[in-house]
A = this chain, B = another copy of it.
Amino acid sequence: MSDMNTANYKNAQILCVGTELLLGDIVNTNAAFLSAQLAELGISVYKHICVGDNPERLSRALRDALSETDLIITSGGLGPTYDDLTKETIAAALGLELELHSPSLDRIKSYFERTGRVMTPNNVKQTMIPHGATVFPNNNGTAPAMAAFGGENNSKTVIMLPGPPNELIPLFHEQVKPFLMSHTDAVIDSVNIHFFGIGESALEEQIKDLMINATNPSIAPYCKSGEVRIRVTAKAETHVKAKEMCDACVETIKQSSVGKFIYGIDTKTLENTLVLALRESGKTFACAESCTGGLIAKRITDISGCSDVFLGGCVTYANSVKQNILGVRAETLASFGAVSEQTALEMAEGVRKQTGADIGVSTTGIAGPSGGTPEKPVGTVFVAISAKDYHKCIKLTLSSMKSREYIREVSASNAMHLALSYLNG
């Protein structure tokens, strides 16, 4: 039982089971997820191994792994069918008998009742667990996860998780993480700081000394389509202490030269932050998109319940549509072109008035790879905002070496950030 287990995990291996991985039908996102989670817990990952639904090779890989580290986390092979053999193979390798686990059987029965499906006898196989294992009930599927113990002084632990990420991820967060934390010396806390308007290398350059010297809390940057996120992670004896350490580090970064680029702390995404800010200020939003072609609207409407602040948008690819729907003037298009500050401003104002929103934003530019000119190369994008008492346009000159996808993502983000900055005064 877990309370008999006095292990103190320092390092681990991740062993994924599934022929579909070896055929390249699916990408092994579980290994990356588990690795990142273990790194945060201060547990080093030595190796990933991935084998097919083949008991012999699984058995061999497991023995090798157990000879190197005390903790192995597996994913996959816990299903009800004859080729799901992870649990049986691991139990055999650890010298443990399988026993019926009644709470799991009850759980599986009620799961089938709830979903209106018929339980088949092979589902009973899923409720057999190795002697002495700690069971982690699965709220999103039929296969319970578990930790089995073996080796000298029960020093070896094998945690078995189901393969589907929608089962594995909540199981890890809700049950495996607390289990592992109860078997490590320290608790871990982390805080994410979200930046906009500064690149990863410029940010690193400016707070290099801070980053290099940071071991606990550690400071790690992550970059995605023009946004940078910094994760501050602290390890301490208690959560209170770890949180204090994180907060102090966040405060230092806020006070530094990069502080002005922070748009959120522990927020989800830019669009989430915008929707919350709109809701808080009681304002509504609309967008007119040319080069982003619906991406702003798509990202906003990814958020369930955004309809209280998002009224709608127009994708005005053709000039005639910019005129007919948004009321952009023919003279503006003729004098300055569709990709211009003037057109962007008229688009933002047009969509605001047409929809009756408090804030309108717009994008017009060259997303490439074709369509660039010497005056307006690929990567030239105008992003504008219009409110009752405010309007502004910024010009982006993104590298023409960047992909169409990147240019569109960054342009959409800039439009949303413009609205967020306006709301934040």
Contacts and interface: CB of A to CB of B under 8 A. Distances in A.
Interface of A: 16, 21-29, 31-39, 44-52, 57, 61, 64, 222, 286-287, 289, 292-298, 300-302, 304-307, 310-318, 320-321, 324-325, 354-356, 367-371, 404-405, 408
A315 B317 contact: no
A344 to B, nearest CB: 16
Contacts of A355: 318, 320-321, 324-325
Given A298-B294, A315-B294, A47 B57 contact: yes
B305 A297 contact: no
A298 to B, nearest CB: 4
Contacts of A297: 289, 293-294, 297-298, 315
B316 A312 contact: yes
B29 A27 contact: yes
23 contacts: A23-B36, A23-B39, A24-B32, A24-B39, A27-B29, A28-B48, A31-B50, A46-B51, A47-B51, A286-B321, A287-B315, A297-B298, A297-B315, A301-B408, A304-B368, A310-B317, A311-B318, A312-B318, A312-B325, A313-B315, A314-B315, A324-B356, A325-B354
Interface centre among A292, A293, A305 (most CB of B within 10 A): A293
B311 A301 contact: no
Contacts of A24: 31-39, 45
A267 to B, nearest CB: 19
B50 A57 contact: no
A76 to B, nearest CB: 13
Nearest to A54: B46
Given A24-B39, A35-B23, A321-B312, A293 B298 contact: yes
A303 B279 CA distance: 34
A281 B138 CA distance: 53
Contacts of A25: 32, 36, 222
A291 B352 CA distance: 21
Contact of A321 (B22, B311, B404): B311
A306 B415 CA distance: 23
Contacts of A354: 321, 324-325
A315 B315 contact: yes
A304 B50 contact: no
Contact of A294 (B38, B51, B294, B370): B294
Contacts of A296: 294
Contacts of A16: 48
A49 B48 contact: yes
Contacts of A50: 31, 47-49
Contacts of A320: 311, 355-356
Contacts of A405: 302
Contacts of A293: 297-298, 300-302
Given A24-B37, A302-B404, 9 more contacts: A21-B48, A22-B46, A23-B35, A24-B32, A297-B298, A311-B317, A312-B316, A321-B355, A321-B356
Contacts of A23: 35-36, 39, 45
B298 A298 contact: yes
A322 to B, nearest CB: 8
A49 B49 contact: yes
A207 to B, nearest CB: 19
Contacts of A38: 24
A300 B404 CA distance: 13
A205 to B, nearest CB: 17
Nearest to A221: B25
Nearest to A405: B302
A28 B26 contact: no
Contacts of A29: 27
Contacts of A292: 298, 301
